[in-house]
Amino acid sequence: MRHVDKTVTGLTIAFAVLFLADFFMAEWVRFIGLQSLARGAVALGLLVLWRTGLVSFGHALYFGIGAYAAAMLTLIGYHDAFFLVFAGTLASGVLAFLLGFLLRRYRAIFFALLNMAFSMILYGVIVKTEELGSTDGFSLHPPTFLGYAPQGEAVQTTLFIFTLVFTYIVTVGVHLYLKTTLGGMSMAVRENEIRVEYLGYSAEKVIHVKYVFSGLVAGFGGAIMALAIGQVDPDSMANWNVSGEFVFITILSGIGNVGATYIGALVFELIRTYAFEYAPQIWQFILGGSLLAIIMFLPDGIWSLVDRLRKSEG
Amino acid sequence: MQELIVILVDGLVFSSYLFMVAVGLTVIFGVMKILNVTHGSFYAFGAYMSATLIGAYYKTDWPEFGGFLAIFAAALIVGVFFGIILERGLLRFLYHRDEHIIVLATFAMFLVLEDVLLLIWGTDPYFAFEPMSLLGSVDIVDLTFDVYSLTLIGLAAIVGLGLWLGLTKTKWGKLLLAVIFDREISQAMGINVTVVFTVTFVIGAIMGALGGAYIAPTISVSPGIGVEVIVLAFAVVVIGGMGSIPGAMIGALLVGISRAAAVHKFPEIELFVIYAIMAIVLAVRPEGLFAPAQARKI
């Protein structure tokens, strides 16, 4: 009998359920869902890097590039979601590929900070560009889908299905990549890079490939986010605290499972939405407090709860 | 020529400001290997506390120049209070964890303190210009500079020199250097690393608060000042080499003068020239300009 990949099965079931749920979902639930999927994708990119022991404090760079690339294309008359998301993803991937030549030489806190430096350059450029609305950003037309131009609520329903399908493909893709030899090298690189080199693999190459992967998915997340909100602006797309939030989601999810990033993103989004709704004065307080609680009491993220449950069962 | 002098003076003032906000960060990193995002909160609390104390002081009819004492009092109160609470109450439980986790914990604390700040002082801006108007202004080649900003250069020099002397000439400083060099061995030699950590963190916090407290009279103290300053301080510290005080000074000068030049020559690149320098320096010398070489452990 062929080996069945539990993660792929789980993902397939989860996304199928969400697909069906789209027809019954309240509008605000769908909106939170869309944002969670977008942020979850970026966290997925961070997870890929984290497996190697690298943390980026600047992934708002790729998120922002993805979002702004998609948004800028709408300015010159392109509105097709397929094209916009593809372009956003590709733009981030290309940038990650180029910066990767430099960044793959760095580890630990230097890697994290160099990423942040690049993301702040993007932030600086956007803030100073009047054509892109400077700090206010600009809003987007509702997207079309291969000639189908939905109106009203149908825009979000269609976008949700569109996002689900592509997130599914991206997530399974990343999962399968992590299971290849190249992907599996990550733990080895994290544990002992020098020995990996002695065995004849190039640690830098492993990291570079990972970096491009993480840039691609982060750009994908950014493009989706731009379409979901219908608006791009530097402070919620490219500033350094946005990068911090992505790392937060990754910690929240734990790095054990690719699907967990979306659960982490959903939890993050819920905390944020409800904190903002019911305690607008102290929503950052609640967000920071939850993060501290996770770090203190659930160091391996939400997914470790699942593992604990499994262990107690048998 | 005239423009050059203006750029230089402007740059020096801005460099001193950068040095003041970055030096606390670099001291904490050097000793504890913690990249402390909460530094932005120390700065913001310092600024608010200073604005409040100055405001209160000038309601009394005490001598005018005493207002400067309010600035230093604000820095001390904020630094000691938050330094001890954060180090004893939070960070010491995380020392054995991954360095990224500690950064994230300080980021979480930063978010928490941002709202605490709003709860205490609200969203309205505060102004405390009395010390600044007290010193008046001076003309340097046709351009008017306020004297208060120029005193910032002196303060930065005193702080820098003081820290450097304290570190290299006193017994305490030498203990600190030993801990920086090798934490485990110093502990084995009988240095109380726990106390060293607490004291270092409090000193770093006071420095951060002093940066905010001293700058408060020249700005409108309003929400969000912490977010801006933290990336600036990061950039300076990273350029100079994390943990190096002379490095912070060089980094501050480099960034400050380039920014002043950009402001006068090409205002549109003002914001990202700082990060561009940071990226270039990191690309060429990843440990920063002044960081000591580290042995690679296999």
Domain with A170, as residue range(s), is: 6-313
How many other CB atoms are found less than 10 A from the CB of residue B295?
5
Higher pLDDT among residues A243 and B282, named by residue: A243
Tell me what pLDDT residue B292 has. Answer: 60
**Percent of chain B beyond pLDDT 90?**
5
Q: Which of A113, A282, A295 sits opposite B238 (nearest CB)?
A: A113
Shortest distance, CA B239 to any CA of chain A (angstroms):
11
Tell me what pLDDT residue B81 has. Answer: 92
Most confident residue range from A11-20, A117-126, B68-77, B200-209: B200-209
Q: Nearest-CA residue of chain A relative to B33? A: A109
Which segment of A131-140, A224-233, B107-116, B233-242 scores lowest on mean pLDDT?
Answer: A131-140
Q: Which of A285, A287, A294 to mutate to test the interface with B (most CBs of B within 10 A)?
A: A285
Residues A108, B99: C-beta atoms closer than 8 Å? yes
Both tokens assigned to B200: 């270092």
Q: How far apart are CA B237 and CA A245, in angstroms?
A: 23
Residues of A in contact with B99 (CB under 8 A): 108-109
What's the whole-number mean pLDDT along residues A288-306? Answer: 82
Residues B90, A251: C-beta atoms closer than 8 Å? no
Tell me what pLDDT residue B44 has. Answer: 92
Which segment of A71-85, B36-50, B259-273 scores lowest on mean pLDDT?
Answer: B259-273
Confidence of residue A300 (pLDDT cuts 50, 70, 90): confident
The CATH code of the domain that includes A17 is: 1.10.3470
Tell me what pLDDT residue B205 has. Answer: 92
Higher pLDDT among residues B291 and A127, named by residue: A127
Q: Is residue A1 part of a domain?
A: no
Q: Nearest-CA residue of chain B relative to A106? A: B286
A232: enclosing H helix or E strand: strand A231-232
Q: Which of B35, B103, B112 sits opposite A288 (nearest CB)?
A: B112
Q: How far apart are CA A129 and CA A208, in angstroms?
A: 31
Average pLDDT, chain A: 82
**Percent of chain A beyond pLDDT 70?**
98
Shortest distance, CA A234 to any CA of chain B (angstroms):
13
User: What would the DSSP string read from start to end of chain A?
Assistant: -PPP-HHHHHHHHHHHHHHHHTTT--HHHHHHHHHHHHHHHHHHHHHHHHTTT---S-THHHHHHHHHHHHHHHHTT--BHHHHHHHHHHHHHHHHHHHHHHHTT--HHHHHHHHHHHHHHHHHHHHH-GGGTGGG-EE-PPPBBTTB---THHHHHHHHHHHHHHHHHHHHHHHHHHHSHHHHHHHHHHH-HHHHHHTT--HHHHHHHHHHHHHHHHHHHHHHHHHHHTEE-HHHHTSHHHHHHHHHHHHHH-SS-TTHHHHHHHHHHHHHHHHHHH-GGGHHHHHHHHHHHHHHH-TT-THHHHHHHHHHH-
Tell me what pLDDT residue A1 has. Answer: 46
Single out the residue of B276, B292, B201 nearest to residue B243, CA to CA.
Answer: B292
What's the whole-number mean pLDDT along residues A151-161? Answer: 80
Q: Which residues pair with B143 in a beta bridge?
A: B140
Q: Nearest-CA residue of chain A relative to B284? A: A102
Tell me what pLDDT residue A235 has. Answer: 81
Q: Is residue A238 part of a domain?
A: yes
Q: Does A118 touch chain B (CB under 8 A)?
A: yes
Residues of B in contact with A114 (CB under 8 A): 279, 282-283, 286
Q: Which residues, 6+ apart, have CB-to-CB distance to A97 below 8 Å?
A: A212, A215
Residues of B in contact with A55 (CB under 8 A): 100
pLDDT exceeds 50 at position B48: yes
Q: Does A282 touch chain B (CB under 8 A)?
A: yes
Residues of B in contact with A244 (CB under 8 A): 37, 104, 107
Residues of B in contact with A194 (CB under 8 A): 298
Q: Does A251 touch chain B (CB under 8 A)?
A: yes
Which segment of A187-201, B161-175, B178-192, B237-251 scores lowest on mean pLDDT?
Answer: A187-201
3-state class (DSSP) for residue A314: coil
Q: Which residues, 6+ apart, have CB-to-CB distance to B264 below 8 Å?
A: B3, B6, B7, B10
Tell me what pLDDT residue A261 has. Answer: 83
Count how many domains chain A has: 1
Residues A284, B115: C-beta atoms closer than 8 Å? yes
Residues B115, A283: C-beta atoms closer than 8 Å? yes
Both tokens assigned to B65: 């120049």
Q: Does A191 touch chain B (CB under 8 A)?
A: no
Dump pLDDT digits (tens) for B18-39. 898 888 888 888 888 888 889 9
Q: Which residues pair with A138 in a beta bridge?
A: A232
Tell me what pLDDT residue B298 has. Answer: 45
Residues of A in contact with B282 (CB under 8 A): 106, 110, 113-114, 117
Q: Which of A117, A128, A299 sits opposite B268 (nearest CB)?
A: A128
pLDDT exceeds 70 at position B296: no
Shortest distance, CA B203 to any CA of chain A (angstroms):
23
Tell me what pLDDT residue B202 has. Answer: 92
DSSP E strand stretches across B130-249: 137-140, 143-146
Which segment of A142-151, A263-272, B273-282, B289-298 scores lowest on mean pLDDT?
Answer: B289-298
Confidence of residue A2 (pLDDT cuts 50, 70, 90): low
Q: Nearest-CA residue of chain A relative to B266? A: A128
Higher pLDDT among residues B37 and A151, named by residue: B37
Residues of A in contact with B105 (CB under 8 A): 291-292, 295
Which segment of A59-63, A240-244, B132-136 scores lowest on mean pLDDT?
Answer: B132-136
Tell me what pLDDT residue A314 has. Answer: 53
Q: How far apart are CA B200 and CA B192, in angstroms?
A: 12
Q: How far apart are CA B101 and CA B93, in angstroms?
A: 12
Confidence of residue A218 (pLDDT cuts 50, 70, 90): very high
Q: Which of B104, B110, B117 to mutate to test the interface with A (most CBs of A within 10 A)?
A: B104
**Percent of chain B beyond pLDDT 70?**
96
What's the whole-number mean pLDDT along residues A168-186? Answer: 80
Dump pLDDT digits (tens) for A73-92. 888 878 787 888 888 889 99
Is pTM, for the whole model, over 0.90? no
**Percent of chain A beyond pLDDT 90?**
5
Contact call for residues A175 and A258 (beta carbons, < 8 A) = yes
Q: Does A125 touch chain B (CB under 8 A)?
A: yes
Q: Is residue A33 part of a domain?
A: yes
Tell me what pLDDT residue A3 has. Answer: 67
Q: Which of A134, A195, A292 to mutate to test the interface with B (most CBs of B within 10 A)?
A: A292
Q: Which of A54, A111, A113 to mutate to test the interface with B (most CBs of B within 10 A)?
A: A113
Confidence of residue B130 (pLDDT cuts 50, 70, 90): confident
Dump pLDDT digits (tens) for A16-50. 777 777 777 777 888 888 888 888 888 888 888 88
Q: Which of B32, B111, B270 to mutate to test the interface with A (most CBs of A within 10 A)?
A: B111
Tell me what pLDDT residue A264 has. Answer: 85
Q: Which residues pair with A139 in a beta bridge?
A: A231
Q: Does A296 touch chain B (CB under 8 A)?
A: yes
